[in-house]
Homo-oligomer: A and B are copies of this chain.
């Protein structure tokens, strides 16, 4: 009976069909959904997905403002990347900069009134998109399982204090 394989694969053997479906499926599903959500958000509200994320985190933070470094950690962007992203949003009037009294090095990014309005409009689109493309494919129980799966995967993805303050709301 040579059909029984050694259970633990040698770690350098090519991925079998099952492993490929799990791994490549993740890559493709992620790419597919992100592309679709980004295009939709851009088409309807003129917002790139990254911008939406920033506005969202700020909206859910106390006083609608966040330290630059915390924001960068939350949206998985380098500090320089965030600097320039905030530059753009400031130019478009969606956020403002505010110096930090307790730490003269630091800076806050604050959501403006217009930023809040823009976010509110975009939120419905984005949430509907996430539900339509992703969440609606799974039962609540399956969603729980997926959540568990990610926690098993994360080596600590956002490891240290994860996203310190404001990750609760959406």
Interface residues of A (CB under 8 A from B): 9, 11-15, 18-23, 25-33, 36, 76, 123-124, 127-128, 130-135, 137-138, 140, 142-147, 149-155, 157-158, 169-170
Kindly report how many copies of this chain are found in the complex they form together: 2
Q: Report the nearest B residue to A135, measured CB to CB.
A: B19
Query: Within 8 Å CB of A138, what residues of B?
Result: 22, 149, 152
Decide if A12 touches B124 in the complex (CB within 8 Å): yes
Decide if B22 touches A151 in the complex (CB within 8 Å): no
Decide if B134 touches A14 in the complex (CB within 8 Å): no
18 A-B pairs within 8 Å (CB atoms) are namely A14-B127, A18-B143, A22-B135, A25-B150, A25-B151, A28-B154, A28-B157, A30-B30, A31-B76, A32-B154, A32-B155, A36-B155, A137-B152, A137-B153, A138-B149, A138-B152, A145-B145, A146-B149
- Give me the 3 closest cross-chain CB pairs, A-B, nearest first: A25-B150, A21-B147, A32-B157
Query: Within 8 Å CB of A153, what residues of B?
Result: 29, 32-33, 133-134, 137
> Given A29-B157, A76-B31, does the pair A140, B18 have CB atoms closer than 8 Å?
yes
**Within the complex, which residue of B15, B33, B150 is in contact with A29, where a contact is CB–CB below 8 Å?**
B150
Q: With both chains docked as a complex, state the minimum distance between the C-beta of A111 and any C-beta of chain B, in angstroms.
A: 16
Other A-B pairs beyond A20-B170, A28-B76, 17, CB < 8 Å: A11-B128, A11-B132, A12-B128, A13-B127, A15-B127, A15-B135, A18-B140, A21-B147, A22-B135, A25-B149, A28-B157, A29-B154, A29-B157, A32-B153, A138-B149, A145-B145, A146-B149
